[in-house]
Amino acid sequence: MNRLGLSFLAAYLWPLSATADELLVASASNFSAPMAQLVLRFEGQTDHEVEVAYGSSGRLFAQISNGAPFQIFFSADQDKPERLLASGLAVPGTSFTYATGALVLWNADDKAVVPDPSALSQDPELRIAIANPRVAPYGAAALEAIESLALSEAVSGRLVLGENIAQAYQFVDSGNASLGFVAKSQVVRDGRVRKGSGWEVPANLHAPIRQDAVLLTRARDCQPCQQFMAFVQQPEQQALLAGWGYRFD
């Protein structure tokens, strides 16, 4: 199995332990592609290896709370790192906002018309994918946007919930849903939608998706962990993340 596959499995099967030169990172699913690039860059510049488990922020938070051996947590919100700090499971003074995300209403069909909010109410058979709002911050933002657009009744009974934003994307990509609210980072590269068509949801339709990272208590004295967190905040790495559609505000 390739390394990426192992990383996804690690979110569910976590009897892992870090070696002196290996970091164990838990990351929200929306950040999987940029994180993979960051890891490649970091490993190319240091002697350290980074193993990443991806999943919904809520699922990863629960695993960390139950003793999963992760050292750094990249959440898709600010709430869960703050709760880990409050419970003593994260190191005070180490949290930072590594990016602000955006939502895109996306259709995977290259021949389809660019979607907009009106598409959500035009076809009563249309299935719309979102991440589970109970555990995924991007799902909560999608639900808030739907409510802000006064479309809650129009989409009632037609939402398809993914366990995380990666699964919501897969539902649309596979045709199991016609449209979906996905992370901009999943469909945009260097300012262009890579496949299908999309409508970027205005930021004023939902609370800002500010994404925080935090060093976990078990890694308090882990110098490579601190090095990786500092690396992510370098201007060169922020420029990389901007290419995936993230903002820094």
Q: What is the pLDDT of residues 181-212, one digit of tens each?
A: 999 999 998 888 889 999 999 999 999 999 99
Same fold? 3-100+210-242, 101-205: yes
Helix, coil or strand: residue 17: coil
The CATH number of domain 101-205 is 2.40.128.50: no
> What's the average model confidence in pLDDT over 153-171?
96
Can you give the pLDDT at residue 191?
82
* Position 20 confidence tier, pLDDT thresholds 50, 70, 90: low
Q: Are the C-beta atoms of residues 78 and 100 closer than 8 Å to each other?
A: no
User: Which whole-number Å values give the CA distances from 164 to 22, 130, 235, 241, in the listed order?
Assistant: 26, 8, 29, 20
Q: Are the C-beta atoms of residues 115 and 165 closer than 8 Å to each other?
A: no
* Position 5 confidence tier, pLDDT thresholds 50, 70, 90: very low
Average pLDDT value for the chain: 91
> What's the average model confidence in pLDDT over 165-188?
96
pLDDT higher than threshold 50 for residue 97: yes
* CA R_g for the chain: 18
Helix, coil or strand: residue 51: strand
Q: 86-100, 190-204, 209-223 — which is least confidently predicted? A: 190-204
pLDDT higher than threshold 50 for residue 130: yes
> What's the average model confidence in pLDDT over 37-59?
97
User: Which whole-number Å values give the CA distances from 151 to 16, 107, 117, 122, 225, in the listed order?
Assistant: 44, 18, 8, 11, 44
- Among 1.10.10.60, 3.40.190.10, 3.30.460.10, 1.10.1200.10, name the CATH number for the domain at 3-100+210-242: 3.40.190.10
Decide which of 9 and 115 is more confident: 115
pLDDT higher than threshold 60 for residue 78: yes
First to last CA, the chain: 38
Sequence spans of domains, the chain: 3-100+210-242, 101-205
Q: Are the C-beta atoms of residues 143 and 150 closer than 8 Å to each other?
A: no
Q: Which helix (H) or strand (E) holds 212?
A: strand 209-215
